[in-house]
Chain A
Amino acid sequence: MLTYRVRVPLLEVSDLLVAHDPATLARVPVVRADAERRLAAAGDSRGVRLLRSVPVRDGGILDEAAVDARLIAVHTELQRLSQELRIGDRLAELLRPLIAAVRAGHPLPDGRIRVVDVGCGLGFLVRWLAAHDILGDDVDLIGVDLHAALVHEAQRLADAEGLRCRFVHADAFRLDVPATVFVSTGLLHHFRGPDLPAFFAAQAGPDTAAFCHYDIATTALSPIGAWMFHRARMRDPLGRHDGVMSARRAHDDATLLTAASAAAPLVPLVFEPRERSNPFCTTLRPVLGVRPGLVEPFRAGLGRAARRLAGAR
């Protein structure tokens, strides 16, 4: 008998819990049964069970307050993984020479360099950079997310520690003040199909000097590693489920390089691509886009680490 498998989309439950009106960014009610149907169609019975653990109010609509509390808890657990996997140090290794190149060679109308974390969640990246005073006083650190509850929590955390950074509830590509450098973590795999090149194309404006987006490296180790790590370090089964899905959804180096070329004239690069890194030492790696005139100064600033860059000379 001939059998064949239909490719079903891999879904993360947390992506189905919130929806926003793209124009106004207002929160849109989510009917749990609709989300359940999507997970069921994807053959994800575990996801369906997880979704059923989220309370609903009248009309079978997901209870927003419960969703927000759950997602803040999941993101707090997720931050522990970012900390253990040294995402702050990794970003700092690249941002230091990148910002130095921008300072020396990119027009800055008001003299300020704005680093914008797209989809910042609880803003770990931005708060870590601020707490360690990595980039200098001419750099504004801004975290942006579509999800208001996460943005408020990020700002509360920053205020609690008196950190010099801010968080905005907005679409990162429609800010009042333009970004100089876009960064992100764990965001790229959320964009599927044509949304991926569209995400990069949105960063090709004249104000953008560079972008640097970290996501899970697709190595032989990543699916089992993600399972093990989320099991060992996360308690909420929703976070565990989505963590493993993220690793399965992650894009490989070639896909990212191709998609990032949609941000031309920015030059697409991958740091620590699969063949130039040890999967035990590098679980997240970034795709970058750099203004042509900044590529050489950036490489020079990186020093020996520049040998880990791939994509263009």
Chain B
Amino acid sequence: MNSALLLLIALADAAFAGFRAYAGRDARIRRRPAIRRAALRGLTAGVALACVALLCAAGILLAAADPDAAYRDLDAAAGRALWVLVPYAAVVGAALLCYFGGPFRLGTLAVVAGLGPLTMLRPVAVAACVALAGSVSLPAAAVMAVGGVGVLAVEPWVHRRWYPVPV
């Protein structure tokens, strides 16, 4: 259950990473289709990179003497990562609501005090997830690290692949 929620958050993050990989490369005013395409590209990259983490997890379960216990560890580690990621996602969600739904001064506040700093804190959040997984078991920390590297790799990958120069 925890693992599924973690995966869901990672994939949502990948879609946003796809948007960021594109943002700043398209100076047109009406960009909805292009934004959708970028988010989809991020999601695709995210799915591919999540598969790598899932393969690692599968390898650990197959090699474990007690696969049930190993699975419980992995799920518990995912649960600890959610301690960080659920509040993070909640703040991002609130900031996005203000940005898209509120008057423009509130939108600026959402960017200046919310979305901007949160983008910079992403690697810290990922590192915290790995550390928390490490407090459960070493194999769990390894899977989390592979997943975390994948999460952080989406944006540079999509950027280099599709948006190296302005469109």
The reply to whether the CB of B29 lies closer than 8 angstroms to some CB of chain A is: yes
Which chain A residues numbered 66 to 81 have a C-beta less than 8 Å away from chain B? 69, 72-73, 75-77, 79-80
Number of chain A residues close to chain B: CB under 8 A: 38
Q: Which A residues lie within 8 Å of B165 (CB)?
A: 69, 73
- B112 is contacted by which of A72, A89, A90, A283 (Cβ under 8 Å)? A283
Given A86-B107, A281-B109, A161 and B29 contact (CB-CB distance below 8 Å): yes
Which of A80, A131, A153, A234 has its CB near the most chain B CB atoms (within 10 A)? A80
Taking the closest CB of chain A, its distance from the CB of B161, in whole angstroms, is: 15
Chain A residue at minimal CB-CB distance from B108 = A281
Alpha-carbon separation in the docked complex, A278 to B107 (Å)? 13
- Contact A76 B166, beta carbon cutoff 8 Å: yes
Alpha-carbon separation in the docked complex, A257 to B117 (Å)? 32
The reply to whether the CB of B65 lies closer than 8 angstroms to some CB of chain A is: no
Chain A residue at minimal CB-CB distance from B119 = A232
Kindly specify which of B19-27, B125-133, B138-146 makes contact with the partner chain.
B19-27
Contact with B along A78-109 (1 / 0, CB 8 A): 01100011100110010000000000000000
The reply to whether the CB of B28 lies closer than 8 angstroms to some CB of chain A is: yes
Taking the closest CB of chain B, its distance from the CB of A285, in whole angstroms, is: 11
Which chain B residues numbered 78 to 129 have a C-beta less than 8 Å away from chain A? 104-109, 111-113, 115-117, 119-120
B interface secondary structure, majority: helix
Q: Which B residues lie within 8 Å of A201 (CB)?
A: none
- Contact B24 A235, beta carbon cutoff 8 Å: yes
Chain B residue at minimal CB-CB distance from A84 = B111
Alpha-carbon separation in the docked complex, A157 to B19 (Å)? 20
The reply to whether the CB of B32 lies closer than 8 angstroms to some CB of chain A is: no
Alpha-carbon separation in the docked complex, A122 to B27 (Å)? 8
Taking the closest CB of chain B, its distance from the CB of A143, in whole angstroms, is: 13
The reply to whether the CB of A160 lies closer than 8 angstroms to some CB of chain B is: yes
Taking the closest CB of chain B, its distance from the CB of A259, in whole angstroms, is: 26
Q: Which B residues lie within 8 Å of A90 (CB)?
A: 104
Which chain A residues numbered 149 to 165 have a C-beta less than 8 Å away from chain B? 153, 157, 160-161, 163
7 pairs of residues in contact across A and B, judged by CB atoms under 8 Å: A79-B24, A85-B108, A233-B24, A235-B24, A278-B109, A280-B112, A281-B105
**Which residues on A are within 8 Å of B, measured CB to CB?**
69, 72-73, 75-77, 79-80, 84-86, 89-90, 93, 122, 124, 127-128, 131, 153, 157, 160-161, 163, 221, 225, 228-229, 231-235, 278, 280-283
**Which residues on B are within 8 Å of A, measured CB to CB?**
23-30, 104-109, 111-113, 115-117, 119-120, 159, 165-166
Given contacts A86-B108, A93-B104, A131-B29, 4 further A-B contacts (CB under 8 A): A69-B165, A157-B28, A232-B117, A281-B109
